Amino acid sequence: MDRRPTQASLHFAALAGATIALAACRVPPPPETLVEKGERIFFNETFAGNGRTCRTCHRPEDNFGLSPNFIATLPPADALFVAETNPALAKNFENPRLMREFALILENQDGFDDLATNFNLRGIPHTLALRTSVASSAGPRTGWGGDGAPGDGSLRAFATGAVIQHFAKTLARVPGVDFRLPTNDELDALEAFQFSLGRQQDLALPLPLVSPVAARGQAIFLDNTLGKCNACHVNAGANADPRIFGPNAGNRSFNTGVEALPDQPARLTGEPVSDDDGFGIPGNGEFNTPPLVEAADTGPFFHNNSVATLEAAVGFYDGEAFNNSPAGQLLKTATGSGIELDATQIAAIAAFLRVLNALENLREADNLAMRSIAATATAARGTELLGRALEELDDAATVLRTAELHPQSVAKLAGVRLTLERARKAHSGERTRLVRGVLAALPGLRGELVRAN
Ligand code: HEC
Ligand code: HEC
């Protein structure tokens, strides 16, 4: 066959060239940033495993964690429930009853040798504010035990451990067969995305809080002779006080006695539960300090989800389990006494943490709403970001309402929420106008919780 170009094919080639040139004149979509790539992997990548993604447990709709109430809304086919739907994972992969009732996930931090007895049941922590809660003078600390990541313990390495633990198709856990391991590029992107979530820096306390109860709670929290919370959660974050724990103390681990709590919910069921030994193999009983600004809307609390309310989590520090623990004893040595709090003081500290959380939710709602305006690539992306902003406003209202805090502001929040909901359903020009209205209203709401300095 003659392969020389005909008149017609030359004409076609010229046309195609012109089309390509025209297309090039249109503004090309901006290249995917590392954070966007990380988000795509975190939300969608199954690593050729059992169908789970990172998002299966770290849900943006549930503050990048997962609670029993949220699990109850999921369909039976959700990949979270692989132990119920995949016979190869029916035993020693999850405990479905404890997952559904208490959002507990089965993990094998001390190795996969003896699956029937050597496991831990842990709550799913949020992945927010990691920028402020990983670095420590003792090396990076990730997960409840502080050693969740294989190798160097870093946030970057964490994803590899998560895939091996949670993504396997069978308990043999053979890389390349039961899942594939993340590539270096994927680890870089996942790390960048996770570092981008939530707060990027710690607060500077005290804040001029409007609620007298929250303000008193803040004073007790910061008082190293009363609440003593700031010793380990400086500025309601995850880092320890260098005056007590040495220079650059950072994100430390402690044995605060949570494992010694009587009547832990999971144990009341009669299901097999093992003692969790925390950091190291074998563990030293220590758990990693989480940040508290994010706490109010990310219960249940502590590594084993042993209490469901923030008030109970604060009340823990008044109890025997804490005061008899190695950390309780340490505090006694450093400050002369343990922690002794009455009901009004427990409620005040919780009120303080609720207000901090509401303020953080307003900040995040503002951030997401701004990004929705900038997200011109697709309308769906804007809708998604506004959906997340709505959830932040809902959380702000819920954490305050639950403790009867700032009732007037909660009522106003409902109005702002309505505008945001309308924006989410509206089209481009109208949407931007409504979102700008919401953005204009947020500083006023913030001002009702904390006075301008
Ligand atoms: C089946 C549920 C599940 C899946 C799927 C899952 N995680 Fe987790 N994640 C957990 C649990 C439970 C912990 C607590 C682990 C520990 O204590 O060591 C955790 C802890 C973490 C932490 C530590 C947070 C902190 O505050 O230190 C990070 C980071 C994390 N996961 C990232 C990931 C990434 C990345 C993926 C996907 C590759 C993923 N997770 C998939 C359940 C899950
Ligand atoms: C000696 C260090 C230390 C002191 C003092 C301390 N904490 Fe903690 N806190 C921790 C550690 C470690 C954890 C994680 C324990 C676990 O899960 O086993 C924790 C967990 C928490 C949690 C649960 C957070 C979550 O996301 O599940 C709350 C709430 C909390 N602390 C509040 C307080 C308050 C309020 C005070 C003061 C009354 C206080 N802490 C004093 C070290 C400390």
Instruction: Provide mean pLDDT across the span 97-125.
Output: 96
Under 8 Å between Cβ of 250 and 320: no
Pocket lined around ligand 2, Cβ cut-off 6 Å: 144, 227-229, 231-233, 254, 256, 258, 287, 289-290, 292, 295, 298, 301-303, 313-314, 317, 327, 331, 339, 349
Six token digits for residue 19: 């089309």
What does the pLDDT look like over 336-382, one tens digit per residue? Answer: 999 999 999 999 999 999 999 999 999 999 999 999 998 876 889 99
How far apart CA 85 and CA 228 sit, in angstroms, is 47
What does the pLDDT look like over 379-406, one tens digit per residue? Answer: 899 999 999 999 999 999 999 999 999 9
- Cα 106 to averaged position of ligand 1 atoms, centre (Å): 11
- Cα 140 to averaged position of ligand 2 atoms, centre (Å): 19
Q: Give the ligand at the shortest distance from the Cα of 129.
A: 1
Residues 6+ apart with CB under 8 A from 39: 193
- In this structure, which amino acid lies at residue 225? T
Q: Whats the size of the chain, residue-wise?
A: 453
Look at ligand 1, atom 23, and give the residue with the nearest C-alpha. Answer: 143
How far apart CA 437 and CA 405 sit, in angstroms, is 25
Six token digits for residue 319: 């109890």
Confidence class of residue 5 from pLDDT cuts 50, 70 and 90? Answer: very low
How far apart CA 451 and CA 441 sit, in angstroms, is 16
Nearest to residue 273, comparing CAs of 409, 107, 32, 72? 107
- Cα 407 to averaged position of ligand 2 atoms, centre (Å): 28
Look at ligand 2, atom 5, and give the residue with the nearest C-alpha. Answer: 229
Is residue 103 within 6 Å of ligand 1 at its C-beta? no
- Cα 143 to averaged position of ligand 1 atoms, centre (Å): 7
Instruction: Provide mean pLDDT across the span 160-167.
Output: 98
Confidence class of residue 28 from pLDDT cuts 50, 70 and 90? Answer: confident
What does the pLDDT look like over 405-443, one tens digit per residue? Answer: 999 999 999 999 999 999 999 988 999 999 999 999 999
> Residue 378's pLDDT is what?
80
414 C-beta neighbours (distance < 10 Å), count: 12
Is residue 105 within 6 Å of ligand 1 at its C-beta? yes
User: For ligand 1, what atom is nearest to the CA of residue 190?
Assistant: 35
Which residue reads 């709590």 in tokens?
261
Under 8 Å between Cβ of 331 and 338: yes
- Cα 104 to averaged position of ligand 1 atoms, centre (Å): 12
Is residue 125 within 6 Å of ligand 1 at its C-beta? yes
**4 has a pLDDT exceeding 80:** no
- Rounding to the nearest 10 degrees, give the CA dihedral for residues 197, 201, 207, 209: 0
> Residue 26's pLDDT is what?
66
> Residue 25's pLDDT is what?
55
Q: What is the mean pLDDT of the chain?
A: 93
Of 151 and 288, the one with more pLDDT: 288
- How many angstroms separate the Cα of 224 from the Cα of each of 119, 219, 220, 316, 332? 37, 10, 8, 17, 11
- How many angstroms separate the Cα of 273 from the Cα of each of 94, 281, 302, 323? 12, 18, 16, 24
User: For ligand 2, what atom is nearest to the CA of residue 300?
Assistant: 27
